[in-house]
Structure 1
Amino acid sequence: MTLHVPPTITADFRDFWQERHLCLLVTHRPDGTPHQVPVGATYDDVSGIARVISHGASKKVRNVLAAAPGARVALSQVAGRRWSTLEGIATVNRDPQAVAEAVRRYTERYREPRVNPERVVIEIAVTRRMGTV
């Protein structure tokens, strides 16, 4: 089953994005080639925002910044036959309150991350949801 925003989000979909799963984030390099990396991510289905915390100098952050004012990205996770992909427009947020909120959400889903004074949050305004959940 493929879901596109704004259909109703099912309980299974919501649960899947709260369970502890490693995700894959795809950004695009300035030459247009894809760059895919494993990440921890969270999704707030009320606001439609997915979040990925990262070091501010990482390649994924640099790719998003190079595509300013926003980068088209995909964020996926898979567990057996269940999978889900969120597509959207990513921006980098350095605001300490936004980063703290992203860390709070990450801690709830995964664990408390190590201290990183260079941390930023990639915020993805989700425009499409797909998957089998």
Structure 2
Amino acid sequence: MTGSVRSFLAEPLVATLTTLRPDGSPHVVAVRFTWDGDRGTARVLTVAASRSARSTGSAGSPLRAPRRCPTIRGG
């Protein structure tokens, strides 16, 4: 990962997270996240009862959804 990418991810950013609803339709939501460069891990900030949390896994566990797509765009 380049220095410019690390710097970009260190900024407070908003991403979109897309998961699939039980009926197979996409659920797209804006999420805040933090980037842990030492672990190469993005932590999505959300409420445990939200659709995005239920679709991706329980608090503290890795993403378990078979299909998910985070998108982060710079300005």
Structure-1-length-normalised TM-score: 0.46
Residue correspondence of structure 1 range 1-133 to structure 2 within 5 A: 9-65=1-57, 70-71=64-65, 72-80=67-75
| Post-superposition offset of 1:57 | 0.7
- Quote how far apart the aligned CAs of 1:36 are: 0.9
SS in 1 for 2:42: strand
Between the aligned residues of both structures, percent identity stands at 38
| Unpaired stretches in structure 1, ≥5 consecutive residues | 1-8, 81-133
| Structure 2 gaps, min length 5 | 58-62
Alpha-carbon distance between aligned partners in 1 of 2:43 and 2:50, rounded to the nearest angstrom = 15
4+ runs deviating over 4 angstroms: none
TM-score normalised by L of structure 2: 0.74
Deviation sequence 1:96-126 (CA, Å, 0-9, x none): xxxxxxxxxxxxxxxxxxxxxxxxxxxxxxx
